[in-house]
Amino acid sequence: MADPYKPRAPFAPWDRRTLPGIFDVEESARRVGNYKWTEMKLFEALGGWVATVPELDVKMRLGTHCYKHAWHAELWHKRLPELREMNPERLTAPANDAMVRFIEAMTEPEAPELTIEKLVGVYRVLIPRFIAAYTYHLNGTSEITDAPTIRSLKFILQDEFEDWRDGEMILQSLIETPEEAARAAAHMQKLEAIMIEAGGIAGIGTLGAL
C-alpha cells in the first residue's frame, strides 16, 4: 500500500475542473429565480391541462411531467437562500414582461380539441428553451464554486431531455395531416415570436452575448 503520509496533489490528474465562471453570485441567483418562476408556471399549467385533454396517454404524461417540473421549482427554491437570497419569493420572478405574456399565450388553449397547441407550447417551445438556458448555465458557471447549482442542473437537464422526447413523440403521433402540421407550426411561430422578445427564460442574454 502507498505511504498514506506522502503528499498528494489536491486535484487528481484526471480532475480538470477549473475555478473561473462567468456568473457572480448575484447573477446566478437572478437566473435561478427566473428558472424557478418559469418551472412553477409550467407545472401549474401541466396540472391544469390534465382535465382538459381527452387523450388518456397524454393525460397520464402531463400528470407525470407536472411533478418533475414542480420538483425542479423546489430545487431552485432551496438553492436561492444558498445564493444569499434569504427571501426566495423576491427573486421568484419572470425575466421580463414578455416572459409573462409568453406564459399567458402558452396556457391559453383549453378546449379538448387543442391538445396539439398545448403540447407544442410546452415541448416545442418552452422545454427546448429550458434545455438551452440550463446548458448555457452548466457550461458557463464555475465548476468548483457553483457545484451545487451544477448538480441540480444535471438532474434537471436529464428530466428535460426525457420530457422533451416524450412530448415530441406524442406530438408526432397526434399530428396526422398537413392541416394539423400547419396548426402546430402556426402556434409555434406565435409563441416563438414572444419568446424572442423575452430573450429566453432568463431574459436577454440567456445564452450570453454573441
Smallest separation (angstroms) from another protein to the CB of 5: 49
Q: How far apart are CA 85 and CA 30, in angstroms?
A: 9
Site string for another protein, 82-121 (x = CB under 8 A): -------x-----------------xxxx-x---------
Judged by CB, which is closer to another protein: 81, or 112? 112
Query: Does 54 participate in binding another protein (rule CB under 8 A)?
Result: yes
Judged by CB, which is closer to another protein: 43, or 136? 43
Smallest separation (angstroms) from another protein to the CB of 51: 4
Q: How far apart are CA 32 and CA 30, in angstroms?
A: 5
Count of residues that bind another protein according to CB under 8 A = 36
Q: Give the burial string for 13-29 (b: 16+ CB within 10 Å, else e).
A: eeeeeeeebebeeeebb
Residues ≥6 apart with Cβ < 8 Å to 23? 31, 137, 140, 141, 142, 146
C-alpha cell at 126: 418552452
C-alpha cell at 138: 452548466
Task: Give yes or no for a contact between 184 and 175, defined as CB atoms under 8 angstroms apart.
Answer: yes
Judged by CB, which is closer to another protein: 70, or 188? 70
C-alpha cell at 191: 409563441
* C-alpha 159: how far from chain center: 9
Query: Does 176 participate in binding another protein (rule CB under 8 A)?
Result: no
Smallest separation (angstroms) from another protein to the CB of 31: 19
Interacting residue with another protein among 32, 35, 38, 69 (CB under 8 A): 69
The footprint of another protein (CB under 8 A) covers 40, 43-56, 59-64, 66-71, 73-74, 77, 89, 107-110, 112
